[in-house]
Amino acid sequence: MRLLAFVFSFIFSVPLQAQHPVAFATKTELEGVKKSIAAYPVLQKSFAEIKTDVDAWLGRDIDVPVPKDPAGGYTHDRHKANYTLMFNSGLLYNLTSDFRYATLVKNLLLKYAKLNPALKNHPQATSSSPGRIFWQALNDANWLVYTGMAYDLVRNSLTADERTKIENGAFKPEVNFLTQDLKSWFNLIHNHGVWACAGVGIVGIATGNKDYVDMALYGTEKDGKAGFLAQLNGLFSPDGYYTEGPYYIRYAILPFYIFANALNNVKPELKIFQYRNSILKKALEAGLQQTNINGRFFPVNDALKEKDFTSTELVAAVDIAWEVYGKEEGLLTVAKKQDRVLLNRGGASIAAALTNSKNIKPYYPYKSVEFTDGAKGNEGGISFLRVDKDANLTTLVFKYASHGLSHGHFDQLGISLFDKGSEILQDYGSARFVNIEQKWGGRYLPENKGYAAQTIAHNTVVVDEKSQFNAKEEVAENYHGEKLFSSFGNPAVQAISAKQENAYPGVSLHRTLYLLQLPEGKKLVVDLFNTTSTAPHQYDLPFQYNGQVIKASFNYKASTAMQKPLGTKNGYQYLWKEAEANLRDTLAQFTFLNKKTYYTISSLITDSAQIIFTRTGANDPDFNLRREPSYIIRKRGAAETFVNVIEVHGEFDPVSEFSTASYPSVQQITLKQSDEQYTVVEIRIGEDVLVIAQCNEDFSTNKEHSLHLTNATIKWTGPFTVLYDGSPLK
Residues paired with 694 in a beta bridge: 679, 720
Which residue type is seen at 335?
A: A
Phi–psi pair at 722, nearest 5 degrees = -125, 120
Helix axes 74-96, 99-115, angle to 10 degrees: 150
Report how far apart, in Å, the C-alpha atoms of 62 and of each of 92, 142, 170, 310, 473 are: 18, 20, 16, 29, 43
Name the DSSP letter for residue 432: B
Residue in 247, 248, 400, 631 annotated catalytic: 248
Is 407 known to be catalytic? Answer: yes
Report H helices in 24-98: 27-36, 41-55, 74-96
Helix axes 210-218, 191-207, angle to 10 degrees: 160
Report how far apart, in Å, the C-alpha atoms of 653 and of each of 268, 481, 522, 523, 658 are: 57, 42, 19, 20, 5
Return the number of other C-beta atoms located less than 10 Å from residue 55's C-beta.
14
Residue in 79, 122, 407, 458 annotated catalytic: 407
User: 3-state DSSP call for residue 694?
Assistant: strand
Strand spans (E) along 520-639? 523-533, 537-543, 548-552, 557-558, 575-594, 597-616, 629-637
Asked whether the beta carbons of 716 and 689 are under 8 A apart, the reply is: no
323, 330, 326, 328: which is closest to 345 by C-alpha? 323
301, 317, 195: which is closest to 247 by C-alpha? 301
- Give the span between the Cα atoms of 278 and 263, in whole angstroms: 15
428, 477, 467: which is closest to 571 by C-alpha? 467
| Sequence-separated (6 or more) residues with CB below 8 Å from residue 348 | 32, 33, 36, 40, 43, 341
Reported as type and span, the H/E element at residue 138 is: helix 137-154
Residues paired with 466 in a beta bridge: 463
Cα R_g (the chain), whole angstroms: 28
Return the number of other C-beta atoms located less than 10 Å from residue 226's C-beta.
26
- Per-residue HEC secondary structure of 363-400 comes to CCCCCCEEEECCCCCCCEEEEEEEECCHHHCEEEEEEE
- Give the span between the Cα atoms of 2 and 214, in whole angstroms: 12
Asked whether the beta carbons of 48 and 95 are under 8 A apart, the reply is: no
Return the number of other C-beta atoms located less than 10 Å from residue 366's C-beta.
19
- Give the span between the Cα atoms of 97 and 31, in whole angstroms: 11
Sign of the alpha-carbon torsion through 112, 117, 118, 119: positive
**CA dihedral defined by 395, 399, 403, 407, rounded to 10 degrees?**
20
| Sequence-separated (6 or more) residues with CB below 8 Å from residue 358 | none
| Sequence-separated (6 or more) residues with CB below 8 Å from residue 61 | none
Phi–psi pair at 43, nearest 5 degrees = -65, -40
User: 3-state DSSP call for residue 166?
Assistant: helix
- Give the span between the Cα atoms of 710 and 727, in whole angstroms: 18
Reported as type and span, the H/E element at residue 332 is: helix 329-338
What residues are annotated to the active site?
248, 407
